[in-house]
Amino acid sequence: MIQFDNSYLRALPGTYLRQAPDVAPAPELVVLNDALAAELGLQIDDAAGWFSGAVLPPGADPAALAYAGHQFGGFSASLGDGRAHLLGEFLGPDGRRWDLQLKGSGRTPFSRGGDGKAALGPMLREYLISEAMAALGIATTRSLAVVRTGETVRREDGALPGAVLARVAASHIRVGTFQFFHARGEADKLRALLDYTIARHDPGVEGALGLFDAVALRQARLIAQWMGVGFVHGVMNTDNMALSGETIDYGPCAFMEAYAPGTVFSSIDRQGRYAYANQPLILGWNLARLVETLLGLFDSDADRAVEIANARLEGIAALYRGAWVNVMRAKLGLQGEDAGDGALADDFLLAIQGVDWTLAFRRLAGVVADEAAYVALFEDATLLKAWLPRWRSRLRPDATAAMLAVNPAVVPRNHLVEAALQAATAGDMVPFHALLAQVRAPFGPEPGREAFALPAPTGFGRYVTYCGT
């Protein structure tokens, strides 16, 4: 049983449309996250039925949530869950509240001409990448299960097996949720949403300004962590920024291999708006869109509200920079804090241009014992050799162990992800489970699992990802 307690639907009428998921004709469980279910205290009696839409869990009250959003900079006033159904909320053993949502579970009034379905590959991608992010210690929604529906969906690649993902999240409240009611001029619903969000995520903060400060700090830390592991989200629209601070909506995401600031994987990001190096800039842009919705709640005096908003927005770059430098201090094994640490990190990035991101950090831990082996990673180590003495002067006494504890040996390498998803689509789950086991232990020793720790072979070519819609 899952003990549902659907506070969002009770507290915020008009922010959703009740809608049952489509009934999967022949549900078949593909993967179930038993460890997560146990952690959340969930007793799952019918995984295939509950998580495919074939059977509603007792107490579920399915709904499609309303939100707006800026998509690649263009505003759409009405988006909403076009292929997802919130089954309800439940409380974990620690009293924390969680959403349980199905993704790929059929059309809703927000579908905008889409079929509301999902193919198996993209749902397994979200399962795999979100589990990797959780293991890396990065805030994320979690995947509870993937179920084949027994249907076929048609995409550019042809006919593909349909599937539904069951997702757990601290909430599905997005910047776009606030934009939805602001665009409609529904001040009462915007205020109710603000009060609900504070009560759910930040009890104790004061008003809109307190919530914004809490959200900005969470998001700055989140994006800094993404940057630390070379993660490229690929579609940082405002409807994909969760106020909980979790990574949400894994579509055309991937992990960067050779370090190049302009790295883009998404097939639809032709201008590089959401390139690796642009993610901190989009953080500020998205938070500015949130400020626009809250401006009237910052202060009753319009001029004063604008002053407050501008001051907060001007501080976002420094907020992110502080979070990023802290991430880099840990990754570089630095002792304490020094005013020059940011410049030290910047200069390291200049030195590793074109070098595999993950290996550049992971194997730096071995430089203390064997500098020559590390230098061999570089075609031109001139900048690195000039940088190493500065770095050594800042090292903590236990730098090697500390760096190995935060720099992963294994991330979801793109060629392995692609191979696993292709095999799964063809009915072979062995490569998927092998890769899943490895990314769930990212910081373990590299020897013995080189096949999962090394970059793609030369012939793999440029990697392109798709939204999966």
- DSSP letter at 316 equals H
| Chain centroid, CA 10 distance in Å | 28
Upper half-sphere CA count for residue 401 (Cβ side, 13 Å): 2
- In angstroms, the CA 161 to CA 64 distance is 24
Asked whether the beta carbons of 412 and 431 are under 8 A apart, the reply is no
Phi then psi dihedrals of residue 152, to 5 deg: -115, 135
β-pair partners for 154: 159
The token pair at 222 is 């989140």
What is the set of active-site residues?
239
Between strands 16-18 and 231-232, the pairing is: unpaired
Q: Which of 286, 283, 279, 240 is nearest to 256 (CA)?
A: 279
The DSSP-derived string for 142-187 is EEEEEEEEEEEEEETTEEEEEEEEEEEES---BHHHHHHHHHTT-H
Which residues, other chains included, contact 296 with Cβ-Cβ below 8 Å and sequence gap of 6+? 187, 302, 305
Upper half-sphere CA count for residue 28 (Cβ side, 13 Å): 9
Asked whether the beta carbons of 99 and 141 are under 8 A apart, the reply is no
- In angstroms, the CA 423 to CA 436 distance is 14
The token pair at 397 is 């006494």
Where are the strands (E) in 220-304, listed by range?
A: 231-232, 254-255
The sign of the dihedral angle between the CA atoms of 400, 219, 65, 196 is positive
The DSSP-derived string for 72-88 is TTEEES----SSEEEEE
- In angstroms, the CA 246 to CA 243 distance is 8
CB atoms within 10 A of CB 173: 24
Q: Which of 170, 195, 168, 167 is nearest to 181 (CA)?
A: 195
- In angstroms, the CA 178 to CA 290 distance is 7
